[in-house]
Amino acid sequence: MSYKLPIEMNNDNVKILSTEILSDNWYTLNKITFQYQKKDGSWQTQNREAYDRGNGATILLYNKTNKTVILTRQFRLPTYINGNESGLLIETCAGLLDKDNPETAIKRETEEETGYKITEVKKVFEAYMSPGSVTEILYFFVAEYSKEMKVSEGGGHHEEQENIEVMEMPFEEAVNMIESGEIKDGKTIMLLQYAQINNLLG
């Protein structure tokens, strides 16, 4: 049974009336007033807040021979104030693009966070992670790694107050940590399941 997608939105369906900056302390929080044309042709005025932190990239490093993956662990304040007792989150390496293209950015972030210098990466998909409130689109990558690629301890940028622990673990263990609840980060779950579905580690 086929499913017919709704008519694709275009600029004619939306009219931005005003944009007000509510905060630009770290990233930018905007209050946007716009008109949206409904199916019956009438226009409805709405107000929404959108958080603009730029776009980002994330990567799963995997080793086919050892059947291991590289993950990171760091303190995430929003999870702490929402019930994560330690505030620590196990994640795939990730970072903002800044002014780089996604491939360049993820290679940079991989070396900064994990200490592995990789040259070949594969983009597998992209996704909006919280489209109801955050503008960010995230580019997802995978790449093979080996011990020869390790050039530093990683851990992130001291200037950015990053304190990142690098974790190498069996792929099967990482997948099981999704079910146990030890891994709760969305991007990490998506990449681990991509690797599982596509049999990346053989």
User: Which tens digit of pLDDT belongs to each residue from 66-121?
Assistant: 999 999 999 999 999 999 999 999 999 999 998 899 999 999 999 999 999 999 99
Instruction: Give the chain's domain count.
Output: 2
Are residues 191 and 124 both part of a single domain? Answer: yes
Q: What is the pLDDT of residues 143-173, one digit of tens each?
A: 999 999 999 877 665 555 568 999 999 999 9
In a domain, 87, yes or no: yes
> Whole domain around residue 76: which residue ranges?
56-197
Q: What is the pTM of this model?
A: 0.90
Q: Quick one: 76 and 157 in the same domain?
A: yes
For residue 101, tell me if it sits in a domain: yes
DSSP 126-192: EEES-TTTB--EEEEEEEE--GGGB-S-----TTTT---EEEEEEHHHHHHHHHHTS---HHHHHHH
One domain, residues 87 and 155: yes
